[in-house]
Structure 1
Amino acid sequence: MVDTKNATLLIKRYASRRLYNTETSDYVTLEDISGFIRSGRDVQIIDLKSGDDLTRQYLLQIIAEHEGRGESVLPLGVLTDLVRSYTTEVNSVVPQFLAQSFEMLRNGPANMMGNLGGSLPSIPGLEAMQAQQEAFLKAMTGGMPNAWPSAAKDTKPAEKEDLGDIKKQLAELQEKLSKLS
């Protein structure tokens, strides 16, 4: 028996643009697909005729619809930076940067500060990206200092000092960046 809870859900798009759930043998909407994803399912959307993977296109459409309805998750600055990243040399690191940011959100704050730049040591402008990443994470958590209270309780005094040093360094970097603008 296949474990459908963890398997990628295959959605086929017909020529009529209707979306067909191969698991339940019925048609679905973008809202249904959004619900599958929110419940933890991975989804793949394939064009039936050409075999093209349309998943990225539909995920972007879902995000655009949510943002358009006022369910804004992405601050205007982040959206602007995303658009800019398509026309700059930085576009090659943006996917990795975003993936790491969301991975840190999933893993909680205990790993967050350790991961800031931990695996990107050779990228030019890393400090600026780290400052942007902190701002992004702050925006995603609504700036709540106790977004994960259990991790704050477990923090050792030495880690608190390291965190303070990192925050000070990031503030200095942000100040330098604002002077460059």
Structure 2
Amino acid sequence: MADTKKPLLIKRYASRRLYNTETSDYVTLDDIAGFIRDGREVQIVDLKSGDDLTRQYLLQIIAEHESRGESMLPVEVLNDLVRSYMSGDVSVVPQFLQASFDMLRDGQAKMMENMSSMNPMSKMPGMEVMQAQQEAFLKAMTGGWPGGSTMPSPEPEAEEPEQGDDLDAIKQQLADLQAKLSKIK
């Protein structure tokens, strides 16, 4: 994986096309959303002026997902965000949101760490299956946010499985776990 500490630089040309400086090709907003989902930080700058356009494009990605019916933000939260922008007072909302997401990532990482091989409970029969299920669940719940895959997978995956494949795999793992538990009894 590329160096995740250094943001992926995307340059916006006058034609409004977005250029990935690492791969030397043009990208779309969906591509950028994919980079972010994979845990990569991005920085989008205007080629001519050098202005940082990252915030503008990230908001556009969120707006497009929301308009497609992929609603993640409740209307009450959106109302509160608008209010925080419209009030003349200094808002604590940005700091609160940042702290909330930091806590979510930290909690997710700690949960995965507790289920890792250093935990004595990991030696229990069927624990690998439960770990894989937990990892799949957390990935589904957080959309693959960074910090969510700190535990190595039980088996390396060549490609990202489809969601139907995930469900079938979880069902199979559950059946395997039930069989192991019935043997223990």
CA distance in 1, matches of 2:61, 2:69: 13
2:28 matched to which residue of 1? Answer: 29
1:64 matched to which residue of 2? Answer: 63
CA distance in 1, matches of 2:75, 2:98: 19
Deviations 1:85-124 (A, max 9, x none): 012255431110110111111122899xxxxxxxxxxxxx
Answer yes or no: is the 8 Å Cα contact 2:4–2:41 preserved in 1.
no
Answer yes or no: is the 8 Å Cα contact 2:12–2:47 preserved in 1.
yes
Unmatched tracts of structure 1, length 5 or more: 112-139, 142-181
1:73 matched to which residue of 2? Answer: 72
Unmatched tracts of structure 2, length 5 or more: 111-140, 143-185
1:15 matched to which residue of 2? Answer: 14
1:41 matched to which residue of 2? Answer: 40
- Which stretch shifts more, 67-76 or 80-89? 80-89
| Amino-acid identity (%) | 75
2:107 matched to which residue of 1? Answer: 108
Note the 1:1-181 alignment, pairs <5 A.
3-89=2-88, 91-108=90-107
CA distance in 1, matches of 2:99, 2:9: 26
1:149 matched to which residue of 2? Answer: none
TM superposition score normalised by structure 2: 0.56
TM superposition score normalised by structure 1: 0.57
CA distance in 1, matches of 2:89, 2:76: 16
How far off is 1:48 after superposition?
Answer: 0.2
Higher relative contact order (CA 8 A, sep 6+): 2
The total of aligned residue pairs comes to: 112
SS at match of 1:20: strand
CA distance in 2, matches of 1:44, 1:110: 25
* CA separation of 1:109 and 1:9: change in aligned 2, threshold 3 A: closer
How far off is 1:19 after superposition?
Answer: 0.1
